[in-house]
Structure 1
Amino acid sequence: MKVEMAFRKLTVGHRQLPAIGGMALTALATIGTAVAQPNSTHGPNLATRPAGAIQLIGDVASPNGAPGNFADMAERAQPAVIGVISRSVEAKQLRPGLPFGDGPEEDAPNENAPGKGPSGPGGLSPRKSPNAIQSVAMGSGFFISPDGYAVTNSHVVKDSDTATILTSDKKSYSAKVVGRDALSDLALIKVDGRADFSYVKMAERPPRVGDWVLTVGNPFGLGGTVTAGIVSARERELENGPSEGFLQIDAPINSGDSGGPSLDTNGDVIGVNSMIFSPSGGWSGVAFAIPADTVKSVIPQLREKGTVTRASMGAEVQSVTPEIADGLGVENLQGAIIANLQKDGPAVKAGLRSGDVVTSVAGEPIKGATELTKRIHAMAPGSSVQLAMVRAGKQSSVSVTLGQLPNESQQSRPRNPE
C-alpha cells in the first residue's frame, strides 16, 4: 500500500476559495539557515535574562530532571504567547471554463471577528469582488521584550505588513511586521503603546535529545493551548530545511501552532514551532521547531534593517552519504558534495565543479551540507574562505571569495544554497 506523506505548515488558513490546508513537501519543507552575526545594539539581547523574564522552575523539578508538574511553568509562559492573525487580498486566478475562479468559494470569516482587516483595493470588499479573494492566516507567536516585540513564523505574515495579535487575557492589538525572513521562516512583529508585556527569553544552550519540552500555541484558533513531550532529535535535516537543522519534538502540534514557542523546563525558548510531518494532515508525533540559535542570529537583523544578510558561494550542495562515498571510491568520506553551480558565481570563479566534495571550511572539518551552509552563511559577503575538497579521489584546496545571497534566493529557499 502506498502511503503519501506531506510536510505541513502549521498555519490555520481561511480563504474564499478552498481553505488552506496541508501543502506538498516542496511547498513546505523549504526553511533555510540564519546568518550568525552579533546581536544588534539596537535590539533586545535575546541571550540575557532581563528583569521580569520568566524565572527558573526549580521548585517543580524532580531529582532526575523531569518536572513534577508542568502547571507552574505553563502559568508563567502562557501570558507571553499570542495568537497572530494576518490578512491579505490576492487576485483570483481564473481557469478556462470556470468564469468565477477555480473552485467553490467558502464563506468569508466573521466580519466582526477580532483583527478584521480593511476592505480591499479601492474600498471594495474582497468578498464582493469577482476578481479578488481575502486570505486569513492564523498562527502563534511570543513576546521577546516588554515593549511589544514578538517572534512568529514568516509564513504566518508573509503577505501582509500588519497583523492582529490576541493575548492570553483576551485583548487584541494591532501589530506591524518589522521584518520577515523566508529562508529561516522567522518574522519579527511589533505592538506599540505598551511596555509591560510578559515575555520569554531564548535558551542559552541547545537541548539534548530526551529533554522535556513544553509547547504553547493557538491551535485551530482556539486560543492558548499547552502540550508537552520530549526532544526527539536535533539537527534534523529535511529537504530545503534550515542549515542548522530542525529540532524534532513529539509534543502534540497542530494547525495554528506555527510560530509558537517550544520551551525547556526553565521556561526558556529552545525553538519556534514551524512544521509537522503527517500522512493525514493532523498530528502524528513528529513536529519540527526552528532552533533558538537561529532565532538569536536572525531577529536582531530583522529589527535593525528588516532583512537578513548572508554570504553565498553560489552552489547547491547535499550531504555525502555512504552510498555517495562508495560511488566516488573514497572510504569514510564526510562532507558536502556540490550538486549545482550558479553561473559565474563565486564557486565557479574559484574553479569548483559539480561533483566536488567539500570536506572542511577554514581548516575545520564539516560533516555534511547542513554544517557547510551554516558556516558559509555566517560569513561576511566579500570575505575569502579556504575550502578543502576531494575531486576524483584526490584531495586539494581552493580559496573562494564569497558573494551575497540574493533576496530572491532566500525567498525561494533552494536546497542548501551556498
Structure 2
Amino acid sequence: MKRLWPPTGVILALGLGFAHPVAAQEPTFQPATDAGLRATYAPVVEKTAPAVVNIYTERTVTRQMRSVFDDPFFRDFFGGVPGGARTRRESSLGSGVIVDQSGIVVTNNHVVENAGAIKVVLADRREYEAEILLTDPQTDLAILSIDAGAPLPALSFADSDTAAVGDIVLAIGNPFGVGQTVTSGIVSALSRTAASVSDYQFFIQTDAAINPGNSGGALVDVDGNLLGVNTAIYSRSGGSNGIGFAIPGNLVRQVVDSAVGGQMTVRRPWLGVEGRSVDSRLAAAVGLDRPIGAILEALYPGGPADLAGLKEGDVVLAIGGQDVLSAEALKYRPGTRRDGERVAVRYLRDGRERETQVRLALPPETPARETTTIGGSSPFTGATVANLSPALAEEIGFPPLTEGVVILETVRGSIASRYRLGRGVIILSVNGEPIERVRDLTAVLKTSAPGYLIQVTNRSGRVSTLRIGR
C-alpha cells in the first residue's frame, strides 16, 4: 500500500539535455562547442551549498511503563500505586537553509518539533546553538536564528509562481547523515495537493531523491535561487522513488517575513470563501469543457470576496493570473500575498467568464476567543476551549467559516481526556442546550443534572453523541 512518508530529505533536481535522431527537415539540438558536452552545475552548487546547513536536535521522551498496576483491580487493591515511567533522550537530524545573512534559517517544523536543544552546523563545519523564532505547523515550516557574529552566505528566493514543469532544479541536504549531498532532477509537476503533510497542500513535485535527513533542505533553480523547501516523499518503503515534494518558495518567504517581523503566529490574507474542486460532473453542469476551477459554496459576509461581488455558485478559474486547478488554490494563492493587496479573480457565472478585483484582508477575530480552561467536575474538566473565528480557524487549520466552541487542548489524564474530548473537538450541545459561545458552555455546566448528553463534531463534520452519567 502506498504511503506518504514525512518529509525526510532535501532535493536538488537537475537534468541534462541530449540529442536524439530526428527527421532531416527538423532542427537538431547539438552543443555548439566541446564545452557544451562538459556542461556542469558546479557553479550553481558553489554558489548555493554554503547556505545549506545541517540541523541536529535533542528531545526528552517520557514513556509510561506497563505494569501490573495498569489493571484496575490491582490498582485499587494496592491503593492506586502508579506504574513507572522511563525517560530517554532522542536525537534526530535534518537540513535547513540560510535565507538572510544575519543568520535566519528555515527548516521543516517536524525537524525541530518538541526539541529541547537545536544545533546548526554550517557547510564549513562551524556549529551554533539555534533559537526558534516561529513555528508554523500548517505549512510544516520553522524559522530559526543563529548568531555567527558575521554575515553568512544566504539564498535569495525565486518566484515559485514562475516555475514550469521541466525546469532543472538541484536539491541539497544531508541524507542519512552522510554529509552534504547534491541531487539533480526537474520540476515534475506543480500545484500538487496529494501530499497531506500540511494544511497548505500546494507543492512543487520533483524527481530528485529525498531521503531521511534531507527534510528542510533547499530546492534551487539553475540561477541559484531558493525555489522551495523539501518536505515529503511518496514512497512504499521510506526511500526515494523519484516522487518528492517541496514547499513553494513564495509560501516560505511569507513565513520568514512573519518571523523577522516579530510575529508569534503567521496571519495570512484570505478571500473569505469556502469551495470545492470542480469535477467532471460539475464541469458539464456549468458549461466547462474540462474539470477546472473551484466552485464557491459559502462566503463570509463582508469578507473580501463578498465585497468584490462574488457569489455562491461562482466558479473561480484564476487568482492573480494563476489558474485555479483545485479548491486548495482558494487558500494558497491569497495566503502568499500581503494584507490589503488587490488581486484579480477570474470566475464563471451563468456560463460567462468575468473578472473582479479583490482587496485581500486578514481573517477577522470575530467573535473574540474567550479562551477558558474548564474546572470543577464535568466531562469537560481539564479542557481549554475558545470561540471559533475565521482567524482562529486559520490558525488551527479548520475550514475558514467554521463556527462554534472548539477545544484547543486537554490536560493529559484529566476527565476530558478520559472521554476523548481533545484538541479539535467542536462542542455542539450539552443536555439539549446549543453551545454557540464559551459562555453557553460554562453556564450549562453550572446547572445540576443527573448526567450529560453531549453532541460534538470535528473538522470533517462527523457528529458524535456521548451519554455520560454522574
Provide closer, same or farther for how the CA distance between residues 281 and 219 of structure 1 changes in structure 2, counting only shifts above 3 A.
same
Moved more, 407-416 or 158-167: 407-416
Contact 1:62 1:68 in 2 (8 A): no
Residue-pair matches, total: 337
Distance in 2 separating the partners of 1:338 and 1:94? 51
- Supply the distance in 1 between the matched residues of 2:341 and 2:69 (Cα, whole angstroms): 54
State the shift of 1:304 in Å: 0.8
Partner residue in 2 for 1:182: 137
Matching residue of 2:41: 70
| Amino acid corresponding to residue 273 of structure 1 in structure 2 | N
Cα gap change, 1:162 to 1:353, in 2 (>3 Å): farther
1:9 aligns with 2:12: no
Contact 1:67 1:265 in 2 (8 A): no
Distance 1:161 1:383 in 2: 39
From 173, 177, 185, the equivalent of 1:229 is: 185
Q: Partner letter of residue 181 of structure 2?
A: T
Instruction: Give 1:321-340 correspondences, 5 Å limit.
Output: 321-326=279-284, 328=285, 330-332=287-289, 334-338=292-296
CA contact (8 A) 1:181 1:411 kept: no
| CA distance 1:345–1:359, change in 2 (3 Å) | same
Is contact 2:135–2:143 with CA below 8 Å preserved after alignment?
A: yes
Deviation, structure 1 residue 358: 4.3
TM-score (ref. length: structure 1): 0.64
> What is the match of residue 163 of structure 2?
207
2:95, 2:107 within 8 Å by CA — same for their partners in 1? yes
Q: Which residue of 1 aligns with 2:202?
A: 245
Aligned: 1:274 with 2:231 = yes
| Per-residue deviation, 1:337 | 2.8
Q: Secondary structure at the match of 1:305?
A: coil
1-structure distance, mates of 2:315, 2:209: 39
Give the counterpart letter for 1:317 in structure 2. Answer: G
Instruction: Classify 1:68/1:369 alpha carbon distance in 2 versus 1 (closer, same or farther; 3 Å).
Output: same
Q: Does structure 1 retain, via aligned residues, the 8 Å contact 2:251–2:335?
A: no
Residues 1:8 and 1:85: Cα distance change in structure 2 (over 3 Å): same
1:373 paired to 2:331: yes
Once the two structures are TM-superposed, the CA of residue 273 in structure 1 deviates from its matched residue by 0.5
Alignment TM-score, normalising by the size of structure 2: 0.58
Worse overlay, 368-377 or 77-86: 368-377
1:88 to 59, 64, 88: 59
Counterparts of 2:279 and 2:39 in 1: how far apart (Å)? 42
What residue number does 1:163 align with? 118
1:202 alignment partner, SS class: coil
* Matched residue SS, 1:404: coil
Can you give the 5+ residue segments of structure 2 that lack an aligned partner in the other structure?
Answer: 10-31, 71-83, 365-389, 403-470
Q: 1:78 to 1:93 in 2, by over 3 A?
A: same
Contact kept? 2:272, 2:299, Cα under 8 Å: yes
Match of 2:102 among 127, 147, 151: 147
Q: How far is the alpha carbon of 1:323 from its aligned partner?
A: 3.2
From 250, 253, 256, the equivalent of 1:299 is 256
Rounded Cα–Cα distance in structure 1 between residues aligned with 2:185 and 2:321? 39
Letter in 1 for 2:39: G
Q: Tell me the residue number matched to 1:111.
A: none
Maintained 8 Å contact 1:239/1:415: no
State the AA in 1 paired with 2:239: G
The one-letter code matched in structure 2 to 1:197 is L
Q: 1:278–1:69: structure 2 CA closer, same or farther, 3 Å change rule? A: same
How far does residue 162 in structure 1 lie from its aligned partner after superposition? 5.1
Query: Residue type matched to 2:252 in 1?
Result: V
> Deviation at 1:223?
2.2
1:392 deviation in Å? 9.5
- Report % sequence identity: 31
Q: Which moved more, 1:363-372 or 1:155-164?
A: 363-372
- CA offset at residue 262 of structure 1? 1.0
Equivalent position SS for 1:144? strand
SS at match of 1:273: strand
Letter of the structure 1 residue corresponding to residue 185 of structure 2:
G
In structure 1, C-alpha distance between the alignment counterparts of 2:346 and 2:163, rounded to whole Å: 31
Higher relative contact order (CA 8 A, sep 6+): 1
SS of alignment partner, residue 274 of structure 1: strand
Alignment match of 2:128 (pick from 155, 173, 178): 173
C-alpha separation in 1, matches of 2:394 and 2:33: 44
Equivalent pair of 2:167/2:187 in contact (CA under 8 Å): yes
Match for residue 404 of structure 1 among 363, 388, 399 = 363
Residue 259 of structure 1 deviates from its aligned partner by 0.7
Relative distance call for 1:363 and 1:260 in structure 2 (3 A) is closer
Q: Which residue of 2 aligns with 1:79?
A: 50
Q: Which residue of 1 aligns with 2:266?
A: 308
TM-superposed deviation, 1:153: 1.4
CA distance in 1, matches of 2:47, 2:245: 23
- Give the 3-state SS of the residue equivalent to 2:39 in structure 1: coil
Of 64-73 and 166-175, the range deviating more from structure 2: 64-73
Unaligned 5+ segments in structure 1 are: 13-60, 100-128
CA 1:146–1:393: 2 relative to 1, 3 Å = closer
Report the Cα distance in structure 1 between the residues aligned to 2:99 and 2:316, rounded to whole angstroms: 38
What SS class does the counterpart of residue 255 from structure 1 fall into?
A: coil
